A and B are shown apart, each in its own frame.
Chain A
Amino acid sequence: MSTYTDKIREIAQRLLKECRVEMVIGFRQGSMPMMNEPCFVRKPEEVDRLVWDSNCGINLANYLTNRKEKIGIVAKGCDSRNIVTHILENKVKREQLVIIGVPCQGMIDKRKIAASIQGEILAVSETGGQIKVKSAGGEKSFNKNEVLQQNCSVCVHRNPVIHDEMVAAPVAEQTDVDQYADVNAIEAMSTEERWEFFEKLLAPCIRCYACRNACPLCYCPTCFVDESKPQWVGKSQDPMDVRTFHFLRAFHCAGRCTDCGACERACPVGINMRLLTKKLNKDCLELYGWQAGLNLDSRPALDVYKANDPEDFIH
């Protein structure tokens, strides 16, 4: 991983020195372990702030919206797909970007680690496939594959789909994963069970909208939840308002979501709201053969009409 960091710094320095970009967006060490933060580097001498490890789960495409300057951006597989989506939706221009592609081997889920550790986590380091965690209660080692974020463990687009520079050779894509096992499990339930399932899933939601803010797709100047004239959705903690919010938030991401997991990662109470967007991803794949952000040449599923579009739901 440190070779990735060195290479990212080297590329960033070169881009800034040659004035090919005005800033480079990447990650820096957070103030707490496993909490890397986005980092905007504008001067070649500042590139040493950039790092790369398995805690770079935030989706950096989020910081490109409506930018006008030339930008170098560090992008793992999912970020690159969101950059493609941003370009297709005219939120940023391809010519503005120098994409520094990072072949990704998954990000670690800090909640999984925190759950099996005693006391506060003081430091986290990784070598090869091993994660070493130092906490107030001693040291513990994890196999990285066992503490991956759920979306990373079933990811089939680890390599950036577009890039101008690459920090390493592409990694092997996973082929033997069942991407939609969790969605299938919900589909197998009865209507009552499904209602109860989401009732429980969404119960801890505090309506902080961190999931929305972390999402690169959510760039509307005024979000529907913030609008008061007209007021689309109740602002209370009532379970129906919470459910309406999550339903609509997910639906706004239909055919655009890349399952980067930024929403779930940002959630302070650990709700897996990805189940909703994932269902839409699965529908898009099954009904339209569409996966978001794979290339710049095809228009999104909800953007095109085809004579054979499924319409059995219309009587």
Chain B
Amino acid sequence: MKNLLVTMGIDPDRLHFSWISSAESTKFVKVVNEITAKVKAIGPNQRFVKKEAKVA
């Protein structure tokens, strides 16, 4: 899925997959921090955003 989204022009840094057990709290914090840092670095998303609905 990531491959196809990336192929369609989504920034790979915006899409993250992780497997975290409910017992792995430290991993959870680490992963979330990493993701937010990456997303902050590339700025607000401009793609796959639906602007206001077109009125004919």
Stretch at the interface among A21-29, A194-202, A261-269: A194-202
- The interface residues of chain B lying within 8 Å CB-to-CB of A280 are 4
Other-chain residue from A192, A244, A313, A315 in contact with B9 (beta carbon distance below 8 A): A192
Encoded as 1 (CB less than 8 Å from any A CB) or 0, chain B from 1 to 18 comes to 111111111111000111
Contacts A194-B9, A198-B9, A314-B17 known; list 9 others, CB within 8 Å: A191-B9, A191-B10, A191-B11, A196-B9, A236-B54, A238-B54, A247-B4, A279-B4, A283-B3
Interface size class of A (residues with CB under 8 A): 20 to 34
Cα of A35 to Cα of B34 in the assembled complex, Å: 55
CB proximity to A under 8 Å, residues B31-56: 31, 34, 47-51, 53-54
A interface residue numbers (CB < 8 A to B): 183, 186-187, 191-199, 234, 236-238, 240-241, 243-244, 247, 250-251, 276, 279-280, 283, 313-315
Which of B3, B7, B16, B48 lies in contact with A243, CB distance below 8 A?
B48
Contact B7 A194 (CB under 8 A): yes
CA gap between A92 and B47 in the complex, in Å: 41
How many A-B Cβ pairs are below 8 Å? 62
In the bound complex, what is the Cα–Cα distance between A315 and B27 (angstroms)?
A: 10
Q: Using Cβ atoms and an 8 Å threshold, which residues of chain A touch B1?
A: 251
Residue contacts A-B, CB under 8 angstroms, 24 given: A186-B7, A191-B6, A191-B12, A194-B7, A195-B47, A198-B9, A236-B53, A236-B54, A240-B48, A243-B48, A247-B4, A247-B8, A251-B1, A276-B4, A276-B7, A276-B8, A279-B3, A279-B4, A279-B7, A283-B4, A313-B2, A314-B18, A315-B18, A315-B31
Cβ-closest 6 pairs across A and B: A195-B9, A194-B9, A240-B50, A315-B18, A314-B17, A313-B2
